[in-house]
Chains A and B, each alone.
Chain A
Amino acid sequence: MELAELKNLKILIVDSNVFISKTLYSILEAFGIAEIMVCHTLEEAEKKYYNTEMDCIFVDFIMEDKKGIDFIKNIRAKQSSKNSSEIPIILVTGVTSIETIIDARDAGVSEIISKPFSPDQILQKLDNAINNKRQFIDVEEYIGPNRRRRKGNKSEWKGENDRRDT
């Protein structure tokens, strides 16, 4: 990711843990990102999403009894006048069970960072979320980035109509 590109980003951090959000803030600040907003409650974060333009959201999973996932689903379902519902969302979580990852993926997160995180990892996921966006899917059962990540690694299709890229 180009340094000049980082400078122009507007990032929202949503985490009830003051210490972790402060650390994430310091890392993003060290990257040269000038506009970093922090919300410690989901209510605050929702207001921010509807009223302020941003390029990416970092959100913790377990906030307020695991409602971080509902927050992500709401964003995916409702576009705001300031932000597209396709906005990159990076889930930051200390809970890395299979269920959590599946819940997060099904809620429509763009990337997942497990704690402990490192500056390297944050930069890589941010770059991926912003510059390597997957196709956005909006169907009845799911709204979010395409959950299939693999490209060019497909087995031979033996049926009549290969729709895997459509």
Chain B
Amino acid sequence: MDKNTKKSHTEMMARAENAVKKAAMEFSGNLTDRVHDLEQAIIQNSPQDIIRMAYELESEAATFGWPRVTRICKWLRKVFSGEFDNKPKAEEILKAIKSLKIMVSDPKKPDEDRDIELIRELYPILSRVVTDI
């Protein structure tokens, strides 16, 4: 690759990285509302909506750097798709949602230590229901 081609390639990748950063900011801005909508779908017991919303959040959170949100959403998607190993109790689902809400309570100031602790507390529930979570 000659010098000019290399420069153009670097510029192209920088433009692409910027596009991802911009999308990540937009995602963070809507995160609290999205989790609220997911909670409402659970309250209204609308499985198809829950699966769709959880999958969308799972994918987006993974792409934009929210791995623990991804994990809980993956768990919810599996639970409502019937892909669980042990039937979840209602209070376990509520606890997962509660943790999720805390994680996204202020997306502009993510708190990694708090989120690690929340996942640690939640893990026995998550893994009891979906063993390979």
Interface of A toward B, CB cutoff 8 Å: 3, 16-17, 19-20, 22-23, 26-27, 29-32, 62, 94-95, 115-120, 122-123
Contact = CB atoms under 8 A, between A and B. Distances in A.
A61 B56 CA distance: 12
A20 B19 contact: no
Interface stretch (B5-13, B84-92, B102-110, B111-119): B5-13
Give the interface SS of chain B, mostly helix, strand, loop or mixed: helix
A106 to B, nearest CB: 20
Interface stretch (B37-45, B57-65, B93-101): B57-65
B15 interface: yes
A120 B13 CA distance: 7
Most-contacted residue by chain B among A3, A23, A32, A123 (CB, 10 A) = A23
Interface of B: 5, 8-9, 12-13, 15-20, 22-23, 26-27, 52, 55-56, 58-60, 62-65, 74
Nearest to A22: B23
Given A3-B9, A20-B63, A30-B15, A118 B20 contact: yes
A74 to B, nearest CB: 22
A32 B15 CA distance: 10
B62 A115 contact: yes
Q: Secondary structure at chain A's binding surface: helix, strand, loop or mixed?
A: helix
Given A3-B5, A3-B9, A94-B58, A119 B20 contact: yes
A27 B12 contact: no
Which of A23, A26, A94 has most chain B Cβ within 10 Å? Answer: A94
19 contacts: A3-B5, A3-B9, A16-B52, A17-B56, A17-B59, A19-B27, A23-B20, A26-B22, A30-B16, A30-B19, A31-B12, A62-B55, A94-B59, A94-B62, A116-B59, A116-B63, A116-B64, A119-B13, A120-B13
A29 B19 contact: yes
B12 A94 contact: no
A20 to B, nearest CB: 6
A32 B62 contact: no
A20 B62 CA distance: 11
B16 A119 contact: yes
A62 B13 CA distance: 28
Contact of B60 (A16, A20, A31, A62): A20
B55 A94 contact: yes
B62 A27 contact: no
A3 B18 CA distance: 18
Contact of A19 (B55, B56, B74): B56
